[in-house]
Chain A
Amino acid sequence: MTAVDLRVAQRPNAPMTTYRYDEYDSAFVRERVAEFREQVNRRLSGALTEEEFRPFRLMNGLYLQLHAYMLRVAIPYGTLTARQMRRLADIADKWDRGYGHFTTRQNLQYNWPKLVDTPDILESLADVEMHAIQTSGNCIRNVTADHFAGVAPDEIEDPRPTAEFLRQWSSLHSEFSFLPRKFKIAVTGAEHDRAAILVHDIGLRIVKNDTGEIGYQVVVGGGLGRSPFIGKVVGDFVPREDLLAFLEAILRVYNRFGRRDNKYKARVKILVHEKGIDEIRAAVEAEFAAMDRSAFDHDPEEFERIAAFFAPPPYESLPATSASLRAAKLETPAFANFVDVNVGAHKIPGYAIVTVSLKPIGGVPGDATSDQMRVLADASERFGFGELRVSHEQNIILPHVKQDDLFALWSMLDAASLATANAGLVSDIISCPGLDYCSLATARSIPIAQAISKRFSDMSRQRRIGKLGVKISGCINACGHHHVGAIGILGLEKKGQESYQITLGGDPTFSASIGEILGPGVTAEQVPDVVEHLVDYYLAEREEGEAFIDTWRRIGHARFKDVLRREGEDGADI
């Protein structure tokens, strides 16, 4: 894009704050749609069998699920414009059932598309610079990033230019589209990790060295699922100009040596675990040294071109705190509550980061109706330069709200049932779709989330409990990230019934840890009781300032296991 194009792209209420396609990006997604349209035709005619079609169907995000197909739309690094959010709403109405589900990888899922309609859906997405490319399949998936990118006070560098740079590099890669298994990359650029990089196949942490140069700490082999692992450092400081070459080296080692004999042992985390990080590091470094680096020479220019799109919006000069905000809080307690729980500090004085919870009490976590999507789009234009984020916690972020506007925003959200003040609290549950939708699931997860949410519906009780990450997966694939929940719940099958295994002590941040099993599985009916007993025990034992995970770390897992055992002795059938 030329400088003139950049200015033209900026509109007063929707200045350019994220990447915009140039003619090459647009041509690419159009060609992708045309290719998929032909692939569908060839599938229907039988030129492609289902076995042959399946990888290509998956590489365009289309799954076959329990009741219908499911289309997973990519939302690169979780960033959306208002126009794109409106298009997602329109697609939901035209080709689906009027709602969508925001996922733990910052994407959106439609649960009822028809195969024959999918090329038209992809066409509609391409109109607004969106796609479903590589949201499934044994290829490099959506590159996720910190949902507070660009606005968090603890930020070192906005991770999204890196994520966009990688998104392009990984699109329709000639060599890495038939990997042993899926490959997920996450980028973080702040002092606190909000992108769970340590449980990704590759996690990138933007760091500065002693001379102030920007580089990446590269972590490999993290992952959840059947065998959870925390990633290990394979590159301490990779300078920006070496990043793509270094990643190519890792992917080549994985493509060549990742296991292909057993689907459940095919992720890179298994390769790292079985060979050891030292051997993997040596292999990656050897490959990196042998590569022809001239192919990467001009990447720094391209990176700068991309980075320019993520310029800060035209923030006003405002005082650090807003007098009207203080007044509004005093006048409306429900609003004050919302501000205290869902609103975070912004790096620009007078602004705030707002988390819009998609976890209404008793609701389906992460779901939004098409009307709600339109309200969110409108809200972002009125109060946030037309930009939204999707977090891996299945909530929506408005990253540029003036403190002065918070009350008006809250009123608008409240009218659309989007003002639940529970961000990060016990009812802000992360849950995969589970057996209500997913053909991989072994048990339902959403009703468990709903039951826990209702049990803790009292907001003052939730605030007293404080930050508590409850994460629920409906099967061992762990899409609900239960391994890294302070309280994790895994739905399995036991003797023909749904059975729930509870873990404690998971953490997705830089202090990452995998949760430990509490005891034998419990029934769906017992889950809210168990969670309540655990929370009550925490409240009784905690010291000043301790969140649930802190108390658990201090007093140990055995004491929490005792709680359940004692409950069992009282007659509860645990």
Chain B
Amino acid sequence: MALISDGRFIEDAWRRLADEEALPKSGKFIVSLPRLEHAVEVLGPTATFGVIVPNTTEPSALIAALPRLDLISIAFPAFADGRGFSLARLLRRAQFKGELRASGRLVADQYPHAIGCGFDTIEIPDDLADRQDEEQWRAALNAYSMSYQRGYAGRGSILEARRKAVRS
């Protein structure tokens, strides 16, 4: 898998923990959703861990764990399945401050959507990374200077710009 951050491919500091593997004593690791409750119970306050969740997850299933989680990875079963974008919005609304990661066969053109909804990073399979190089991801990030919606992250808001122009 390849990891995109700020329009660049970077090394992934996180490790996806297989379900049969025991919780490690150190390092940054990601557990599957069924293991989350147990992980929260047994892991100490210094543990750095995250969870990977289906895009149909109810935010309420994660609320209790939010303060403990450093990363939430939302699976995109298909790039055209946009449920992950709403889930990300809801998790940010619930005050999740850690890294939000979109994981799946997303294409570069979806980068602004992901950033807008509160994702920090995108994880894609290698075969996709081969076809969609860094330049395409960076270009996608910079394709639009501003956005029509407000309350979404990323690009500046056209509405805000208009208000400033009227004032000045």
Q: Which residue of A lies closest to B115 (CB)?
A: A174
Query: Is A264 in the interface zone, CB < 8 Å from B?
Result: no
Contacts of A305 in B (CB 8 A): 162
Instruction: For the complex formed, measure the closest distance between the CB of B133 and the CB atoms of chain A, giving whole angstroms.
Output: 8
User: Which of B86, B145, B148 is in CB contact (< 8 Å) with A255?
Assistant: B86
Cross-chain contact A178 with B82 (CB below 8 angstroms): yes
Residues of A within 8 A of B149 (CB): 169, 173-174
Once A52-B79, A174-B147 are accepted as A-B contacts, the answer to whether A28 and B158 lie under 8 Å apart by CB is: yes
Tell me if A's interface is mostly helix, strand, loop or mixed.
helix
Q: How far is the CB of B108 from chain A (nearest CB, A)?
A: 9
- Min CB distance A57 to B, Å, is 11
Q: Mark B75-119, 1 if CB is under 8 A from A, else 0.
A: 000011111011101000100000000000001011011111100
- B64 interfacial by beta-carbon distance below 8 Å: no
A38 close to B (CB within 8 Å)? yes
Contacts of A9 in B (CB 8 A): none
- Expressed in whole angstroms, the minimum distance between the Cβ of B26 and any Cβ of chain A is 36
Interface residue B139 (Cβ < 8 Å from any Cβ of A) = yes
Task: Give the contacting residue for A256; candidates B86, B112, B140; CB below 8 A.
Answer: B86
* CA of A52 to CA of B108, assembled, Å: 10
Q: Are B159 and A302 in contact (CB under 8 A)?
A: yes
Contact A295 B144 (CB under 8 A): no
* Chain A residues whose CB sits within 8 angstroms of the CB of B93 once the complex forms: 290-292
Say if the beta carbon of B143 comes within 8 Å of chain A.
yes
Closest to A38 in B: B139
Contact of A31 among B132, B143, B151 (CB under 8 A): B143
User: Is B61 interfacial (CB-CB < 8 Å)?
Assistant: no
Q: Decide yes or no whether B136 CB sits under 8 A from chain A.
A: yes
Q: For the complex, what is the distance from the CA of A27 to the CA of B155, rounded to whole Å?
A: 13
Report A-chain residues with C-beta under 8 Å of the C-beta of B131.
46-49
Closest to A173 in B: B149
> Which residue in B132, B152, B158, B163 is a CB contact (below 8 Å) of A174?
B152
Interface residues of A in 15-67 (CB under 8 A from B): 22, 24-25, 27-28, 31-32, 34-35, 38-39, 42, 46-49, 52, 55-56
Name A171's closest neighbour in chain B (CB-CB): B148
Query: CB of A142 within 8 A of chain B?
Result: no
Instruction: Tell me whether A255 and B144 are in contact (CB under 8 A).
Output: no
B154 at the interface (CB under 8 A from A): yes
A136 to B89, CA, bound (A): 25
Q: Which of B79, B107, B152 has a CB less than 8 Å from the CB of A175?
A: B152
| Candidates A25, A39, A177; contact of B113 at CB < 8 Å | A177
Q: B53-69 toward A: CB 8 Å interface, digit per residue (1/0)? A: 00000000000000000
Q: Measuring CB to CB, which residues of chain A are less than 8 angstroms from any residue of chain B?
A: 22, 24-25, 27-28, 31-32, 34-35, 38-39, 42, 46-49, 52, 55-56, 138, 168-179, 252, 255-256, 260, 290-292, 294-296, 298-299, 301-302, 305
Q: Could you jot down 7 A-B contacts, CB within 8 Å?
A: A55-B79, A138-B80, A174-B85, A174-B114, A174-B154, A177-B82, A252-B86
